[in-house]
Amino acid sequence: MTGVGDGVTHIYASAGGKVDSATVVVFFQTGWYTQPSGTTNSLWGVFFLPDGRRGWAVGDAGTIMHTSDAGASWAAQVSSTSFSLRAVWFTSSLVGYAAGFGGTVMQTQDGGVSWSRITTLAASENFNDICFADSRHGWAVGANGVIARTADAGATWTKSFPTANELQGVSFSDTTNGWAVGQGGVIAGTRDGGKSWYVVQPAVTANALYSVWRRSNTEAWAGGASGVNPVTAATPDSLQWTLGSFGALNQVRGIMIGSDLIGYAVGQNGTGLILKTVDGAASWQPQVSNSAQGLNDVWFVDPLRGWAVGTGGRIVHTSKGGE
């Protein structure tokens, strides 16, 4: 048996009426290393299914790249749009969404073999991020403070504008509790699935926030310009945002906290930036990104296996937590 990409599999053998099994783990190499993306267009969003084999990256000029072997090889899918795509999210192995400029939200129901545009959203709205809490409930955020929500798997969308500031990131811990962040340090929250939103006052920073990750109803982290790192803290009757820092020279574009202790943030500080926490975001340590290009988004399927995408079609991958 020869491994063709990193991952985990199980081998079962039977003889004489007895059955035994073994778990095989393949690590391609240590640290972060470059994968051949197949494109020079800048990539802005990445998503992998829990198996760590099937994933998508989206970017400028309607680029959608797909892998079925953990990124050992990537191939283009026909996106049916030329607008820049900024984020991608799948709710199953077949159903996925890609959001971008020109009011673009593309949907696939066959794992990306074909994509079609959802036509109920205005072309004047530039979307920067999209996420789903389950197969039906999703949200997209973008220019002019727009938040579009669906409760029927994208068939219909309802829009709200809780702020005039452009929103860059959105994250929900379930179908009711979510955060959206954006320019001017704006943080907007909802407790009813996006039917209504409130803006956190006073703002914890005036710097732009580009990404947010809400892991639970009480835990959330955001990242942005000049290394700002707002985090939530539970109080007796509500949540409070406090301001931490990734380091003033670090521009953070993407963040994902996948477990109680371990998380990753990516961006740029002259070259590609990757930071890792092993203490629940109390502190962050830099990793060697092996990317001269800035990185825009990150996705992990477990604490060890992750991908980051960025400028010029850059894709870097680790199968050992960046170590």
Dihedral angle computed from the Cα positions of residues 257, 258, 263 and 265, in that order, rounded to the nearest 10 degrees: -60
pLDDT in tens, 124-139: 889 999 999 999 999 9
Q: Which domains can be identified in the chain, with CATH numbers? A: 7-318 (2.130.10.10)
Q: Are strands 138-142 and 251-257 parallel, antiparallel or unpaired?
A: unpaired
Backbone CA torsion sign across 151, 154, 158, 163: positive
User: What residue has token string 């074909």?
Assistant: 114
In whole angstroms, how far apart are CA 77 and each of 4, 81, 113, 116?
22, 11, 7, 12
pLDDT in tens, 196-254: 999 999 999 999 999 999 999 999 999 999 999 999 988 877 789 999 999 999 999 99
pLDDT in tens, 255-269: 999 888 999 999 999
d(CA 320, CA 22): 20
Q: In the predicted model, what is the mean pLDDT of residues 303-307?
A: 97
Q: Above 50 in pLDDT, residue 27?
A: no
Would you state the pLDDT for residue 15? Answer: 53
Q: In the predicted model, what is the mean pLDDT of residues 8-24?
A: 49
Would you state the pLDDT for residue 311? Answer: 98
